[in-house]
Amino acid sequence: MSFTPEGKGWIPKYHEMVAKGEIPLDVDQYEFDPEKNLYLNVHDTGLIYGYPTNFIFYPDEMGKWSTSNSYKLLLYEGFILSNILNGSSSELDPKELIDFYETLNHKKAKKFGLFKGASGDDHDIVDSLLSKRLNIKIHGESFWLNYLSNSFIYTDLILYHKLKMGYKFPNLEQRIQDIQKAALHIIIAATTSNGIIGEKEKAVFDMFLASSSLPDYDKNEIEHLLKAGLTFYDLVLPEELTWIVRRWFLEIALIVILADNVIDPKEQDFLEKLANKLEFSKYELDDAQNSIQSFILNNFEKLPYLTDKSEFQQIYGSITKKVVKAVTNNKEKILQELSESKELVALIKKSTTKELSRDEKKKVRKQLGDLAKSIPALTVFMLPGGAILLPIVLKLLPNLLPSAFQSNKLEEEGENE
């Protein structure tokens, strides 16, 4: 069946394909709460960072549609994912989405006609609504930047997910503006933490500011703050921040600071203070950095903003060093643990010659997590971003610990998996 996420009728057609089994709604259920489940299932899609690289459910690769249409489908799948994680129907109620966005943008819906131009049934209104929501303007022209465009769309999914989890917000529109304002303040503080505002850092700030739904007077005030500077001690965060928002705040600070692929001592100090303010440990800060760098590594060829291969090598080198250090410093303990887990060794060995299935990857992740429980230095691999590190770990372990993978018996077991 031909399908494109554009124009009238694509949403019913999508659900028709789901009903026929052409789009399997497979969801990874990790041993975490619904927020961390949402994060882990969308992380490698690019939704968090404003650049779509993979769909959540749709089986085809991205590339055959425009970025805006791909992002629209990805966001729609994000809402489906939230429903599934919260035990609701996978077929979204269009009226529920319309009500959500009308509440989220109540003033704009009334003043500027958020639904203006939408006609037909409720599915067509949702299509028009998502298209308008994804479109941003800067310097008077609509455009899509290849990196971090529509950067605040992830907050839509976060708040929708929180509502599905049963959270109540007295003023949803004010809540999203408070989150966006805090995010922009964090970006400014991160940008100016070493006293230098780089070109890439400024571009990230401009993209987030253009993507925000803040009133013009707030945007003007925030632009002045960038010029005046903002320190860590000036940061005031909204109350009652849950894990998924705090994690996102930490990752956008890292996005800014990693724009030049270097973290200098002043920037590192800022990140550690911010992580502490957000109630994250040093391990969790490392995990967030690993998540971002691993996303870039896993999607390097899909991200046009990374045209310099030296940037890829820098990031790969950084993550590789972390894995090598953690493994070599705990070599004997890891060998002992592996000797008691023949299935894990067989799967890792198999991964060197063929792609593991989704179930096999989940087994490896779980067993590596069990292994990490006895080795503090490997705790980072148990955290949410550890799942993103899996391809690198699988590649390095056989080279770092060859003696654990040389048994003919294990080789036979690996081939029989």
- How high is the pLDDT of residue 382? 57
Closest of 272, 238, 234 to residue 253, by C-alpha: 272
Q: How far is CA 38 from the centre of its chain?
A: 9
320-337 tens-digit pLDDT? 787 788 788 888 888 888
What average pLDDT does the segment 265-279 reach?
96
**What is the greatest pairwise CA distance in the chain?**
72
Q: Decide if pLDDT at 140 tops 50.
A: no
Would the pLDDT of 276 be above 90? Answer: yes
What is the rounded average pLDDT of the residues 262-267?
A: 89
Alpha carbon distance 41, 44 (integer Å): 7
Residue 278, classed as helix, strand or coil, is coil
- Over the stretch 93-130, which tens digit does the pLDDT of each residue have? 999 999 998 888 745 544 434 555 455 689 999 998 89
CATH of domain 170-307: 1.10.3680
**Number of helical H runs and strand E runs in the chain:** 19, 2
Percent of the chain with pLDDT over 90: 30
Tell me the per-residue pLDDT of 53-73, one tens digit each, with 9 for 90 and over: 889 999 887 778 888 888 899
- Provide mean pLDDT across the span 145-159: 74
Residue boundaries of the structural domains of the chain:
1-168, 170-307, 327-416
Q: Tokens at residue 287, please?
A: 């995990």
- Note the pLDDT tens digit of each residue in 372-400: 767 766 665 555 555 656 677 777 778 77
What's the confidence (pLDDT) of residue 258? 82
pLDDT band (50, 70, 90) for residue 223: very high
Residues of 131-160 as b/e, b for ≥16 C-beta within 10 angstroms? bbbbebeeeeeeebbebbbbbbbbbbbbbb
